[in-house]
């Protein structure tokens, strides 16, 4: 077993050793059964009734199958236990990673590791220990028995088997590059399938032709080419495998070499017969050995993916966490670029020398074009990522000195892309809170202007929202998230375009609700609609990760040419209507 396999199985190492011990005992019983069968043949040849051998055969058969069943039970129980341990360990590890890293990996890759790769290891742990015991203990037992009968003949059988193992090793080493290519090609197929299925609505809407599944088709063609190349290159090896790893070659060897020893008077005819019975058992060990190898190869990629996650750097946590006593926010010389961009030139960073402060109980709006770094500011404040340099402070305390769970408990967040769990409306509004009264939940829903809609549903607050909230519209999901923020009532409020899915009427109601929610809170809001931020205590205008204007709406209109141009463009766009065509007018 490789180092990686042994390391990942360490939590159930003791149980697996017991399984291997029981499997080895089962193989010893099997050898003794063969010896008893040889003894029965000998007694029959001497015209004696083999009563002792028959009784021993019955007892050993019961012990053999008892040990074998117990060995498999032990390994299977260990596999279930390891599956539980790995999923808990991976979940804890993912929970300790920066959330930005988790989002970058994507739900598809994470679910594959947590479900498919852990399940692949279950199959390995359940089947490998008995196979390993059979593959390594049986040859030792058989060779000891053969040496007891005749050591010269036993040595020749050992050399013959080692030669066959050497041939097997050559065939295996030749197939390893193709196994890696197979793994990569299979991953590409899986990725293309997921993309094709998840994007089915877009595919049918915009591309009903053959190109809609072009990437999927190309990945299948590549996968087929890898398989065909592999099979073609291994054609003669496979034929040789089918010839060598059967009882026939060793039977021919035993017949030729044993006959020679018999005519030389080295062995008796009975010893030759015993060798035929025992030595063929060595060939049987080739099949467990090959089965063990295939299990290890199949699980190797899963172990590597699990190891990749477990070796990722967790979010650094202070040994002496601090708790801020007030809730002003300060960005001090903050620079940030994603890991893949840190080697690029400085002007490609998402944020450059970002410095500004948000006084406690004030309302700060962040505006700017897409990609200017607005949402990144909120992500850094929540430590989804850590800054490349500089620092972010709450109440004068660097957020790196605040325990991550405490930092989250200070902030209520409403993102543009909202996530709901597949539970009831009540469960989603109250998510993360304990002992919430029904009246408090209703009050929060009323403040978010979602209560009337909820009461129009047959089951009211006990209505299921479906997977990821798919039974609700985008605006309804957003207002449920806003109700959750009302209910949490935390001192810092972060809003990322909170009215993105609202119509004009509901947007006015929501902004009034937000005005109430913002009372006595430190508010940082990312906005695209400028009419929502004209009353902000300060507006920060970003372009390409830098602050190009900062101040109140009125100050910026008077002093910032770039903000004046943005406001004029917004006013023109808000009053723009679709005109009738000349044909319609006619």
Confidence at 80, pLDDT banded by 50, 70, 90: very high
Q: How far apart are CA 327 and CA 494, in angstroms?
A: 13
pLDDT in tens, 310-338: 888 888 888 888 888 899 999 999 999 87
What pLDDT is recorded for position 421?
A: 81
Write 132-135 long-range contacts (CB < 8 A, 24+).
132/1, 132/20, 132/23, 132/288, 132/292, 133/19, 133/20, 133/21, 133/23, 133/24, 133/26, 133/27, 133/71, 134/23, 134/27, 134/285, 134/288, 135/285, 135/288, 135/289, 135/292
Confidence at 255, pLDDT banded by 50, 70, 90: confident
Among 79-88, 107-116, 261-270, the range of highest mean pLDDT: 79-88
Give the E-state strand segments of 375-477 in sequence order.
389-394, 397-398, 411-414
What pLDDT is recorded for position 238?
A: 59
Phi-psi region of 106 (alpha: psi -120 to 50; beta: other; left: phi over 0): left
Q: How far apart are CA 31 and CA 209, in angstroms?
A: 64
What pLDDT is recorded for position 469?
A: 73
pLDDT in tens, 258-267: 777 778 777 7
Question: Which of 528, 527, 511, 510 lies closest to 573 in space, CA to CA?
Answer: 528
pLDDT in tens, 364-406: 999 988 888 888 898 899 998 899 899 999 999 999 999 988 9
What pLDDT is recorded for position 538?
A: 94
pLDDT in tens, 421-465: 888 888 888 887 878 888 988 988 888 888 888 899 888 989 888
Residue ranges in 97-117 assigned as alpha helix (H): 99-111
**143 in Cβ contact with 279 (< 8 Å):** no
Q: How far apart are CA 22 and CA 249, in angstroms?
A: 31
Q: How far apart are CA 156 and CA 160, in angstroms?
A: 6
pLDDT in tens, 190-221: 666 666 666 666 655 555 545 555 666 676 77
Sheet with 351-358: strands ordered across: 351-358, 329-336, 389-394, 397-398
| CB-neighbour burial class of residue 427 (10 A; exposed 0-12, middle 13-18, buried 19+) | middle
What pLDDT is recorded for position 360?
A: 93
Kindly state the DSSP code that residue 114 receives in the 8-state scheme.
I
**68 in Cβ contact with 75 (< 8 Å):** no
pLDDT in tens, 130-163: 888 877 787 788 778 878 877 777 787 778 777 7
Q: How many CB atoms sit inside 10 A of residue 281's CB? A: 20
| pTM of the full structure | 0.67
For residue 297, pLDDT beyond 90: no
pLDDT (mean) for 479-506: 80
Q: How far apart are CA 18 and CA 12, in angstroms?
A: 10
Q: How far apart are CA 53 and CA 59, in angstroms?
A: 10
Q: How far apart are CA 534 and CA 541, in angstroms?
A: 13
The fraction of the chain above a pLDDT of 70, given in percent, is 76
Q: How far apart are CA 142 and CA 247, in angstroms?
A: 15
**400 in Cβ contact with 321 (< 8 Å):** no
The pairing of beta strand 538-543 with beta strand 363-368: parallel
pLDDT in tens, 406-417: 998 899 888 777
Q: Which token pair is 274?
A: 């015993």
Q: How far apart are CA 303 and CA 48, in angstroms?
A: 58
How far is residue 299 CA from its own chain's centroid?
15
The pairing of beta strand 492-496 with beta strand 411-414: parallel
Q: 109 φ, ψ to 5°?
A: -65, -40
Q: Which token pair is 264?
A: 């030389």
What pLDDT is recorded for position 316?
A: 87
For residue 579, pLDDT beyond 60: no
What pLDDT is recorded for position 586?
A: 42
Confidence at 283, pLDDT banded by 50, 70, 90: low
Sheet with 522-526: strands ordered across: 411-414, 492-496, 522-526, 363-368, 538-543, 546-551
What pairs with residue 549 in β-bridges?
Answer: 541
Domains of the chain: 3-310 (1.20.1560.10), 329-574 (3.40.50.300)
For residue 547, pLDDT beyond 70: yes
Q: How far apart are CA 353 and CA 542, in angstroms?
A: 12
Kindly state the DSSP code that residue 461 receives in the 8-state scheme.
G
Q: How many CB atoms sit inside 10 A of residue 16's CB? A: 23
Q: 522 φ, ψ to 5°?
A: -90, 115
**Mean pLDDT computed over every residue of the chain:** 79
For residue 511, pLDDT beyond 70: yes
pLDDT (mean) for 13-33: 88
Kindly state the DSSP code that residue 335 receives in the 8-state scheme.
E
What pLDDT is recorded for position 585?
A: 44
- Reported as type and span, the H/E element at residue 549 is strand 546-551
CA 346, 348, 349, 353: dihedral to nearest 10 degrees?
Answer: 50
For residue 228, pLDDT beyond 90: no
């Amino acid at each position: 077993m490789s180092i990686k396999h042994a390391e990942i199985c360490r939590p159930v190492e003791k149980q697996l050793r017991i399984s291997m011990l029981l499997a080895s005992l089962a193989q010893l019983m099997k050898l003794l059964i063969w010896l008893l069968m040889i003894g029965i043949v000998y007694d029959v040849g001497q015209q004696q009734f083999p009563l002792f051998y028959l009784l021993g055969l019955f007892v050993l058969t019961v012990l053999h199958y008892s040990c074998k069943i117990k060995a498999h039970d032990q390994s299977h129980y260990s596999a279930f236990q390891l599956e539980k341990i790995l999923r808990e360990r991976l979940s804890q590890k993912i929970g300790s990673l920066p959330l930005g890293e988790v989002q970058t990996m994507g739900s598809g890759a994470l679910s594959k590791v947590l479900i498919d790769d852990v399940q692949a290891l279950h199959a390995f742990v359940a089947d490998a220990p008995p196979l390993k015991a059979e593959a390594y203990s049986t040859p030792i037992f058989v060779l000891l028995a053969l040496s007891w009968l005749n050591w010269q003949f036993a040595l020749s059988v050992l050399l013959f088997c080692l030669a066959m193992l050497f041939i097997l090793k050559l065939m295996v080493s030749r197939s390893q590059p193709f196994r890696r290519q197979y793994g990569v090609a299979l991953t590409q197929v899986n990725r293309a399938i997921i993309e094709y299925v998840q994007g089915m609505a877009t595919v049918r809407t915009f591309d009903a032709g053959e190109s809609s599944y072009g990437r999927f088709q190309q990945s299948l063609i590549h996968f087929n080419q890898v398989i065909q190349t592999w099979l073609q290159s291994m054609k003669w090896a496979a034929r040789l495998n089918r010839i060598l790893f059967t009882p026939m070659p060793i039977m021919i060897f035993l017949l030729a070499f044993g006959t020679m020893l018999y005519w030389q008077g080295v062995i008796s005819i009975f010893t030759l017969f015993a060798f035929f019975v025992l030595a063929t058992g060595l060939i049987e060990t080739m099949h467990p050995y090959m089965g063990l190898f295939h299990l290890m190869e199949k699980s190797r990629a899963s172990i590597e993916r699990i190891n990749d996650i477990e070796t990722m750097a967790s979010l650094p946590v202070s040994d002496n966490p601090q708790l801020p006593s007030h809730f002003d926010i300060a960005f001090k010389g903050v620079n940030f670029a994603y890991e893949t961009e840190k080697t690029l030139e400085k002007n490609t960073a998402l944020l450059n020398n970002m410095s500004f402060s948000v006084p406690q109980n004030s309302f700060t709006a962040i505006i700017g074009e897409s990609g200017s770094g607005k949402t990144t500011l909120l992500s850094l404040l929540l430590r989804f990522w850590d800054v490349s340099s500089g620092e972010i402070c709450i109440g004068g305390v660097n957020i790196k000195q605040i325990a991550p769970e405490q930092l989250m408990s200070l902030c209520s967040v409403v993102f543009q892309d909202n996530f709901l769990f597949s539970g009831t409306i009540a469960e989603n509004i109250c998510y993360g809170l304990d002992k919430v009264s029904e009246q408090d939940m209703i009050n929060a829903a009323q403040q978010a202007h979602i209560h009337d809609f909820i009461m129009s549903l047959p089951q009211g607050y006990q209505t299921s929202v479906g997977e990821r909230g798919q039974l609700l519209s985008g605006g309804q999901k957003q207002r449920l998230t806003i109700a959750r923020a009302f209910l949490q009532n935390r001192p810092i409020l972060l809003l990322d375009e909170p009215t993105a899915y609202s119509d004009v009427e509901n947007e006015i109601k929501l902004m009034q609700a937000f005005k109430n929610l913002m009372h006595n809170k430190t508010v940082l809001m990312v906005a695209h609609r400028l009419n929502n931020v004209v009353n902000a205590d300060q507006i920060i205008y970003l372009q390409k990760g830098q602050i190009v204007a900062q101040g109140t709406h009125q100050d910026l209109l008077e002093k910032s040419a770039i903000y004046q141009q943005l406001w004029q463009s917004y006013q023109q766009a808000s009053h723009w209507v679709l005109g009738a065509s000349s044909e319609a007018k006619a």
